[in-house]
Amino acid sequence: MAYQSTTTTSATNTSTKETHYFSALIVLTSLFFMWGLITSLNDILIPHLKAAFSLSYVKVMLIQFCFFGAYAVMSLPSGFLVERSGYKRGIIIGLVTAGIGCLLFYPAAGMRSYPFFLGALFVLASGITLLQVAANPYVAILGPARTASSRLTLTQAFNSLGTTIGPFLGSVLILSAARPDGDEATVRAAEAASVQGPYILLALALFVIAVLIAVVRLPQVEAQDQPAGAQSVYQHHDSVWAYRHLVLGAVAIFVYVGAEVSIGSFAVNFLSQSTIGGLTEIDAGKHLSYYWGGAMVGRFIGAWVMTRIRPGKVLAFNAFVAVGLLIVVMLFAGKTAMWALLAIGLFNSIMFPTIFTLAIEGLGKHTGAASGVLCVAIVGGAIVPVIQGYFADINLLYSFIIPTVCYIYIAYYGLKGHKADLKPAA
């Protein structure tokens, strides 16, 4: 009877714990949605601020440079802060920092200062970087190890939902804002000011979520150790940089994020061209939702496909398709080029998580350090768009050769680069 009582109590505690975890996941899912929405709004800010400040493509790509540059600058400090303060405090600080960044859009617009906008974006992105560093591992360990992948897939799906909705909302709230009659200075001032309302609303939403997380009792959990008897654990190098498949994976993350962000950044201007889609900026912004929505759909399809086909092969296939679609973009005009560009989002879907998992495979005790390296590599989203911007000022159409080269490297990584020539640890 004592044994039965103990078993019943244990089962009850497990059930209570799982319910507690589920409640926490519902709250945390809102984080993934919000930072996806905010990140995709950059694609709307680019054509909007380009017109408001009469910027070249290189100068307007500083939006992505400042936003994703925060990952390079703030990832390691964020990791230290989370280690010292814990996941919950790290998430709250990240939300408040991002909210402050959103509020800074108000004075930036009032002063009509492009450098001020860039500074506000850096503060906003610093908060999101902290959220990424804190929330991703927290979700992974918030429950049984065997279901970690499904939890991450679910939360990443809501991140994709945010990136899908973001361009549509941005088009309605920012690009379609009424422009007053008057001289050029008056019109440009109104264009700059049209971002104030939407970003104040975003700030309020972030602050509300921060308060909610502060009030809700989140489970205190610690990262699980590598399961005993796990296969393919390699620990014979002292430095994380000695693992070739990780270093090549960091390059793959760099070029992937760079290509994905670059395509999204130029999409509105590209679709607005008379020889391509002939769309207004508002309609082009709404069409951008297809690009990010494709990533959401592809994530679910890819999760099923990779249970039957090796992830490296799926990664290489998707990269080759993306290369083919970009060739179509550069060789054909009209609707064919437009839909080819938007379809790339579908094949982007599985790239980031697949590269990430292939790069950290078998690293054992070095996995944490490897994750930090890969997070810093997200800075590709800052650098690649600026490189494409340089060529876009010469010829927008053929500037898409830059993401094409990125996808060719990703295909190589999927076929050969991810294969680790290592011996199992004793």
Q: Which own/partner pairs from 99-103 qualify as long-range (CB within 8 Å, at least 24 positions apart)?
A: 99/127, 99/202, 99/203, 99/204, 99/206, 99/207, 99/210, 100/127, 100/203, 101/125, 101/126, 101/127, 102/38, 102/199, 102/200, 102/202, 102/203, 102/206, 103/199, 103/200, 103/203
pLDDT of 9: 46
Same domain, 154 and 242: no
Q: With a threshold of 0.75, does the pTM exceed it? A: yes
**Considering just the CA atoms, what is the radius of gyration of the chain in Å?**
22
For residues 210 and 95, the answer to whether their CB atoms sit within 8 Å is yes
Same domain, 149 and 245: no
pLDDT at 60 over 70: yes
Tokens of 246: 């990780």
Domain-embedded: residue 150:
yes
Same domain, 153 and 266: no
Tell me the C-alpha distance between 294 and 383, whole Å: 24
Between residues 156 and 224, which one has the greater pLDDT? 156
Q: At residue 170, what is the residue type? A: G
The residue out of 186, 217, 248 marking a domain boundary is: 217
- pLDDT, tens digit, 9 for 90 and up, residues 266-310: 999 999 999 999 998 889 988 988 998 898 888 878 777 877 888
Q: Where are the alpha helices (DSSP H) in 86-195?
A: 87-103, 105-111, 114-141, 148-170, 184-193
Same domain, 272 and 207: no
For 350: left if phi > 0, alpha if psi spans -120 to 50, otherwise beta; the answer is: alpha
The residue out of 182, 217, 252 marking a domain boundary is: 217
Q: Using pLDDT thresholds of 50, 70 and 90, give the confidence band for residue 6.
A: very low
Tell me the C-alpha distance between 282 and 264, whole Å: 15
Same domain, 210 and 246: no
The residue out of 217, 243, 276 marking a domain boundary is: 217
Dihedrals φ, ψ of 54, to 5°?
50, 55
Count: domains in the chain: 2
Same domain, 124 and 247: no
Q: Is 228 helix (H, G, I), strand (E, B) or coil?
A: coil
Same domain, 211 and 279: no
Tell me the C-alpha distance between 27 and 32, whole Å: 10
pLDDT of 14: 47
Q: What is the mean pLDDT of residues 3-11?
A: 46
Between residues 136 and 26, which one has the greater pLDDT? 26
- pLDDT, tens digit, 9 for 90 and up, residues 190-214: 777 788 889 999 999 999 999 988 8
The CATH number for 169's domain is 1.20.1250.20
- pLDDT, tens digit, 9 for 90 and up, residues 324-335: 999 999 999 899
DSSP class of 297: H
Tell me the C-alpha distance between 103 and 124, whole Å: 9
Q: What is the mean pLDDT of residues 29-56?
A: 89
pLDDT of 144: 64
- pLDDT, tens digit, 9 for 90 and up, residues 349-393: 889 888 887 887 777 667 667 777 888 899 999 999 999 999 999
pLDDT of 228: 37
Q: Using pLDDT thresholds of 50, 70 and 90, give the confidence band for residue 395.
A: very high
Same domain, 175 and 147: yes
What is the domain extent for residue 372? 234-419
Q: What is the mean pLDDT of residues 115-133?
A: 93
For residues 266 and 399, the answer to whether their CB atoms sit within 8 Å is yes
Exposed/middle/buried for residue 15 (C-beta within 10 Å: 0-12, 13-18, 19+): exposed
- pLDDT, tens digit, 9 for 90 and up, residues 211-257: 988 888 777 655 444 443 344 455 566 677 888 898 999 999 999 99
pLDDT at 157 over 70: yes
